[in-house]
Structure 1
Amino acid sequence: MAQTLALIHTSPTLTPMFTALCAAEMPDVQIFHMVDESLIKETVRAGSLQRRTMRRLLMQVESAVATGVDAVLITCSSIGPGVAIAQQLFDTPVIRIDDAMAEEAVRLGTRIGVAATLSTTMSPTVALLRARAAELGKEIEIVEALAEGAFDAVLAGDVETHDRILTQTLLQELQQVDLIVLAQASMARVVKALPEGLLKPQVLGSPELAVKRTRRILEAARKPAFSEVMV
């Protein structure tokens, strides 16, 4: 029987990207998308992730797990702390979109730039980087670059302004770091469209790294236990 992956999004714009990534990385895995825009809208309105929002996220995860999925991938960085709680409550693997990216960033760099269009995404991303650095016993410096106005522009349907503000922020504030971390999955599209070599530091985005990690988790779950092999 084919394995199944549920993807929980806070924006419907992410579904085509993750559909393509999953098809490329794990074509034999069946996927389905669950979208709840209110999770991010409520977080932005409150200025931080609220307990009531975390409870609703846990209900989404529980709904996905009830279908018998083999894993759940949550694609919004702003609700990352809620994902950490879900990981403790469910036996089914619950994967945080930016976990693999944070580990890779801390492994590769010491002065790490973090780009975001939302302060509610910046804070959990920075906290995650510091936590991963502490686990490795490594000192890091974080340079925050908030592309103010970009998120409002994209909400208004002005993608061009969003992309312009984000690009200016990257070029003006993060050229002197070891590498750049993109705090939101939607930002990877903008960086890919830039001319090669325009950004000096290496750039890490969460979608591809998260999907690759998900593939490895599913592959490990598919392998029979040693006792089964011996039967």
Structure 2
Amino acid sequence: MLQTFPLLTCIFLVFSGSAWGSCQAEFDAINKFRSTATPFEINTDITETDAGRVEYRSKVAIRVKNANSAQVAVSEGLIGGLTIVGGDGWAQSADGSWKAMSRTEVNFALQRIVGGRFFDSIGAKELTCPGIRDFEGKSYKAYTYQQAVLEDGMDDGSHPYQRVLQSHVTALFDPVSHLPMVGIIEVTDGPHKVVSIDRFRLNTAVKIEKPIQ
């Protein structure tokens, strides 16, 4: 089974070329994390298909209060979650209990969730700036890139393995406010395909509190 977590995986590669460099600068500017855009939440729908048949669905909600407080809540199909409040973090295990995260784990999670940018572009290559694109009846300023993503799975002998696949990411921003609106992440491996759609929403009511242990 392909399992992607687009905001928490990947490695940065540098691509060259003057036209690409101009596109890179444009994307870096619009994708830069801005405190004026917080608090916000990202609601993610993940669908896995095999030869067109839906095999797996899951939902994940990510809430960001500020650069030091964030939450990943799993509502369907996956196990676990995490909560970070003021730089202190807790991870949820399969049985629902919470365990304190180490400082290294907290810093890594914040880097993946916030990390100074709205869309996780670590590992980005082949960036393009196609301009305005329509999605679900609305027009957005679009950027696309390739990104490495880690797959966890089991082989025929029930042995766990990991391997790196390539994802195609489309980042959509409001053309006027330049705020992030939608992220579309697609990973294809033969007949298997995973599509993750991230929908951003400013929400001043976002509250992140320490979990009850």
More helix by share: 1
Determine if the TM-score, normalized by the shorter chain, exceeds 0.5: no
Indicate the structure whose relative CO is greater, using CA pairs within 8 Å and at least 6 residues apart.
Answer: 2
What band does the TM-score fall into relative to the shorter chain? under 0.3
More strand by share: 2
